[in-house]
Amino acid sequence: MYFRDNKIMLKDDSNNTNNLIKFFFEKEGYNVYFYTNSIEALDSFSKDKVHLVILDSKILKLK
């Protein structure tokens, strides 16, 4: 399936949540990158081509 070459970015403050979601997507062959830091996630998003972004409901304010 051609979707499996796509990148998925996860942003959640919890490593446990990130690892769980990452596990299931990688099991299906997707490339998954996760961040707990909002600034790092935003920086990566602006530099890399990402096909899907999954965010937590609370994003800390960027200073």
Res. 60: pLDDT tops 80: no
Q: What is the count of structural domains for the chain? A: 1
CA atoms within a 13 Å half-sphere pointing along the CA-CB vector of 14:
8
Q: What is the pLDDT of residue 25?
A: 92
Domain with residue 13: its CATH number is: 3.40.50.2300
In a domain, 41, yes or no: yes
In a domain, 23, yes or no: yes
How far apart, in Å, are the Cα atoms of 10 and each of 53, 61? Answer: 6, 17
Average pLDDT, the chain: 82
In a domain, 61, yes or no: no
In a domain, 7, yes or no: yes
In a domain, 20, yes or no: yes
In a domain, 63, yes or no: no
| Higher-scoring residue by pLDDT: 10, 46 | 10
Q: What is the pLDDT of residue 24?
A: 94
Residue 6 is part of which domain span?
2-55
Per residue in 28-53, pLDDT (tens digit) is 889 999 888 888 888 888 888 888 98
